[in-house]
Amino acid sequence: MTMPLDGIRVLDLTRLAPGPFCTMILGDFGAEVIKVEQPGGGRRAEMEREAQSQQESGLEERRRAALNAHSRNKRSLALDLRQPEAKEVFYKLARSADVVVEGFRPGVVKRLGVDYETVAKLNPRAVYCSISGYGQDGPYAQLVGHDINYAAFAGALSVIGEAGRKPAIPVNLLGDYAGGGMHAALAICLALLAREKTGRGQYIDISMTDGIVYLLAALVSERHQTGVLPQQGQYRLNGGVPYYDVYACADGRYISVGCNEPWFYENLCKALGLEQYAKEQWNTAKHPEIARAFAAAFKSKTRDQWFELMKPPQEVCVAPVLDLDELFADPQLLLRGMAHERQDPELGRIRQVGVGPQLSATPGSIRTLGPTTGQDTDAVLRGLGYGEEAIAALRKQGAVA
């Protein structure tokens, strides 16, 4: 079956969430992704091994790798880029690569000799993408950080959470996965499309902080239009109104309500037995009273009972707040293939999230499970023309593993 990125070779130098998520997307849609990993996995892998209570067996290591969705549809080449012989292997790969993705702190790839300028001399058609917290330039370029820090700088944390409470932390969805990985995958596809017109690759500078700000485009626009600065729990889309909030039910579980439109709001009031509020949606003076009434009503039934009462044909914008275990039993997600499962003869049942974008003619797919570090080193080297003696010599030097 034809896939959108068939024939595209990606060299993946990334380690943490945004880069591997970006290249997972590319791999899901047909790109050949080669993970260029440090032998042994580097100091982060060492830290993770130390945190484990006991040493993993080979089978346990393979199972952990197979369960890692970020590594699926990829091959692993263990290459110590600090060594000249390893750099030569990378340069051979770069000559035939379409995309290089790296996620180091600005300046690291230049010190290693695998930066965009070096790659572009070898291969002017290469698209080179750097993913970092704050971008390659500016006063914060060298500032270390993680998702929570980028979301803070971007202004997102200032509008997430309940009024009067400290900002809520939205896991690492905003910076790592949306503003970083997905933003980068989109940019790479745009650059590949541009290459069809120009014949040349280009450099992409992805800042996770920039990406989060980009996600806030509508909110920033509304702030400038209205002059009102959104606050935690006081904006119409962050819990500041009773018809767009989350409510506890009789079983301690939660249901989400998003009835912005008057017709949905009226249906909500009827379903809750609170018709007296059906025409009070825009009466802000009544909102505290309505919120208390909604909260009391939702406490009278379980989450799933309310959902059954309000789902079609009732036309109420509600959804149960599912945990991750419930997610993989949900009929909607099962139908759409978002709960992927396969049986491996040695590893047993392997479960992952499915492929998000649903293309009708050229769909993505999960073709291979994640490899252990260096699992494909010999195969990749043979593909570059290295013989068995040359591979053995590289391994003896520690350039590959």
Among 146, 205, 287, 330, the active-site one is 146
Among 176, 210, 245, 376, the active-site one is 176
Cβ burial 184-217 (10 Å sphere, 16+ → b, else e): bbebbbebbeebeeeeebbbbbbbbbbbbbebbe
Angle ∠(191,37,134) on CA atoms, nearest 5: 50
146 assigned to active site: yes
The CA distance from 305 to 127, in Å, is 52
323 assigned to active site: no
The CA distance from 126 to 119, in Å, is 7
Bridge-partner residues for 247, per DSSP? 255
The CA distance from 148 to 158, in Å, is 12
What is the three-state SS of the chain?
CCCCCCCCEEEECCCCCHHHHHHHHHHHCCCEEEEEECHHHHHHHHHHHHHCCCCCCHHHHHHHHHHCHHHCCEEEEEECCCCHHHHHHHHHHHHCCCEEEECCCCCHHHHHCCCHHHHHHHCCCCEEEEEECCCCCCCCCCCCCCHHHHHHHCCCHHHCCCCCCCCCCCCCHHHHHHHHHHHHHHHHHHHHHHHHHHCCCCEEEEEHHHHHHHHCHHHHHHHHHHCCCCCCCCCCCCCCECCEEEEECCCCCEEEEECCCHHHHHHHHHHHCCHHHCCCCCCHHHHHHHHHHHHHHHCCCCHHHHHHHHCCCCCCCEEECCCHHHHCCCHHHHHCCCEEEEEECCCEEEEEECCCCCCCCCCCCCCCCCCCCCCCHHHHHHHCCCCHHHHHHHHHHCCEC
Tell me which residues are annotated as active site: 146, 176
